[in-house]
Amino acid sequence: MSPNKCEVALLAGVQKLYPILNPIGYRFAIEASDAASGGPFASGFYANDWLRIGLVYRSFYGLGSVIYATDEANASHDDVMMLLGHSEDQQTLYSDEKFLSYSRDAQDVFLAIAHDLEHFIVKPIVE
């Protein structure tokens, strides 16, 4: 898979997050599309004024770690879910051994991220 195909795969997945993040002011932009020691990849951020949600799609692994970052700190999706008390409920999990994010129920990982964002992060903030 080429860097361009990684970018296409990342953008297709990100479309599943639009209904949750775009209405609250987040916008997605590709940051890089290249090849490195881990193979071809594409990366980008969903961002608003203070928070960036980083996503990396690698040709050999699929979606890598989901990272939440501010100017002062960053945390993985698993860390955020643990801090919010939803480790047992989250749909998106990460394997350190495989460098891969995946869905708890073996479904589409981007839909799993959308679920976690909607139910455990966005909805509680908006309410």
Q: Give 19-56 pLDDT, tens digit per residue.
A: 999 999 999 999 988 787 777 889 999 999 889 999 99
Task: Return the beta strands (E) in the chain as ranges.
Answer: 27-36, 39-47, 52-58, 62-63, 67-69, 74-76, 92-95, 100-103
Stronger pLDDT, 109 or 124, i.e. the higher one: 109
Task: Return the percentage of the chain with pLDDT > 90, whole number.
Answer: 69
Question: In the chain, how many domains are there?
Answer: 1
d(CA 91, CA 80): 13
118 - beta bridge partners? none
Domain housing 100: 3-126
pLDDT, tens only, 56-91: 998 878 899 899 999 999 999 999 999 999 999 999
